[in-house]
Amino acid sequence: MTPAESAATDSHTTDRRRISPRIRVIWGLRLLVGVGAVAAAASFVATRVAPIPSWAGPALAAVLALVGLAWIEARYRVWRYEVRADALYLERGVLRHVRTIAPFVRIQHVDTQRGPLERWLGLSTLVVYTAGSRGADVSIPGLQPSVARDLQTRVKELAIEAEGGDAV
């Protein structure tokens, strides 16, 4: 690698970064839907299938909500990403810690996505597609749109550089 190529690569790399804390709102809303479904199922069972106390459904929902909130916080605390000189690196997972390395030479294209909740919260998701996969291999949720676009550009340019100028 020439000094100019090394300088260009260094300008695109990042330190380990966290995702936006606002992602916890999206995860919390998903939790709320799940807890609501469990509470509805418990209510159905209590009224139609088995004689269980009327307080059992709300108690189960409250316990699940508390455990879910702790899970969301733990999940947020372990989520990290980093753009290295040769790959995109991710760390995530609460019970099962997952480290993903997506080498730039395998990256085919990079998208940013924003669903309705993400738009409402001012967030975006970076999605990276790699060779030999059926779908997205790597996605980084909870990015501010400007950060996602910047990261998309960085990853694209590093992938092009890794392929010798004819990729992405």
CA 150, distance to chain mean position in Å, is 17
Helix pair 56-78, 23-44: axis angle to 10 deg: 160
Q: In the beta sheet, which residues pair with residue 124? A: 143
pLDDT along the chain (168 residues), means of 10: 50 84 96 88 77 77 92 96 92 93 90 95 94 76 95 91 66
Question: What confidence score (pLDDT) does residue 42 get?
Answer: 77
Question: What confidence score (pLDDT) does residue 4 get?
Answer: 46
DSSP at 84? -
Cα angle, residue 124 at apex, residues 10 and 117 outer, rounded to 5°: 165
Q: Which ranges of 20-101 would DSSP assign to H, the alpha helix? A: 23-44, 56-78
**Nearest to 161, CA basis, from 36, 59, 153, 76:** 153
Question: What confidence score (pLDDT) does residue 58 get?
Answer: 80
Question: What confidence score (pLDDT) does residue 166 get?
Answer: 53
pTM: 0.80
